[in-house]
Structure formats: structure tokens, C-alpha cells
Structure 1
């Protein structure tokens, strides 16, 4: 039996599940300013996936890179969801 596909599917599910709260927390604490970090990490992950010979690791790096890149759009969409009142807006701390 070959479990490679199932392993990749489970890891994909976990990566996507990780990015949902990551986008929400990023927008909550820093807004959309760190979008470029997602871009750099996404491009780096995709490029690294091209040079890794292990099929599972290469697949997971590609999935990770795609998730980082997809999250850039989600970060800006999250800002709109906050503006609509669907998610809480961070209150500025008073000194």
C-alpha cells in the first residue's frame, strides 16, 4: 500500500487550516502591512520546492508556497470583513 497521497492530503488540510487563523491574527495585529512577507515566503517556498528531490517534501513546500501566496489576497479580504463588522477590529491601546 502507498500512503504518500493520503499523507500529502492530510498535511495540505493542516497547512490550509493553519493559514486561516494566521491571516486573521496578522490582520488583527498588523493590518495588511506584512503582505510582502507572505509574498517573499511564498516565492521562496515555491522555488525551494523545485530543488527538493523528495516528492512529499517538494509537494508540501509547493502547497506551503501556494498557501502563502493565496493568503495575500485573503489578508486584504480580511480587512474588508473587519470593515463590515464580521470580525473584531483591534482597539488602539491608550497610554
Structure 2
């Protein structure tokens, strides 16, 4: 009985929004440790990589016809662009002692 009811409802369900929400959540969650690692190993000097990648992903999003893929590419592009500011903020968080400082780059944190 329950399985029959579920099978009747199933064709009317749309999972696009749910997949996009989960994909967005995972992409944003993935960028958090990426920003931390990039700042730790390279400092803020790789901000331009995020700029180029962000522009590239957003351009790709405009060229892809599939709505779900296009939206996820747009989220990755926006996350790349947002990460530029986050890398600069991460440097400040390291200076405040909230995150570990790379001892090989200690002089970069001196004002």
C-alpha cells in the first residue's frame, strides 16, 4: 500500500532544487578548507587564480544549456570570486591567532 502510494507521487516530484541545494552546500563547504590551505601555503599572492577560475566557470555556466550543470558551474564561479575576499580575510584571522601561521612565511605577517 505505502509503496504504491509513493510510486503514484514519484512522477510528480522534481529533484532539481534539492540537487542544486545539496550541490551548492557541498561546493561552498569545499571552498572553506581550500581557502585555508591556499593562504597557509601561498599567502594571498594566488588571489588572481581564483579570479581567472571564477570568470572561467561563470563563462562556462553561460555556455552550458543544461540548467543544473549551468547553475552548479555558476555556484563554483561565484565561490571562486568570493574566495578572493576570504583569502584576504584569512590572512587577518591568522594574524589574530585564530588559525595557524605557516612558520616558513612568518615575515609576511609582520606589519
Q: TM-score range by the shorter chain?
A: over 0.9
Residue 38 of structure 1 is matched in structure 2 by: 50
Greater C-alpha Rg? 2
Instruction: State the match for 2:98 in structure 1.
Output: 86
**Structure 2 residue 38 is matched with structure 1 residue 26:** yes
What residue ranges of structure 1 are gaps of 5+ in the alignment?
A: none
- Report the CA distance between 1:75 and its aligned residue: 0.2
Deviation, 1:42, is: 0.1
Deviation at 1:86, TM superposition (A): 0.7
Unmatched 5+ stretches in structure 2: 1-12, 106-111
Could you tell me how far apart the structure 1 residues matched to 2:63 and 2:99 are? Answer: 40
Moved over 6 A (4+): none
2:28 paired residue number: 16
State the Cα distance separating 1:71 from its structure 2 match: 0.3
Out of 44, 59, 67, the position equivalent to 2:79 is 67
1-structure distance, mates of 2:18, 2:69:
14
Q: TM-score normalised to the size of structure 1? A: 0.96
Q: How many residues align?
A: 93
Whichever structure has more helix as a proportion of its residues is 2
Residue matched to 1:76: 88
RMSD: 1.0
Per the TM alignment, residue 92 of structure 1 is displaced from its structure 2 partner at its CA by 1.7
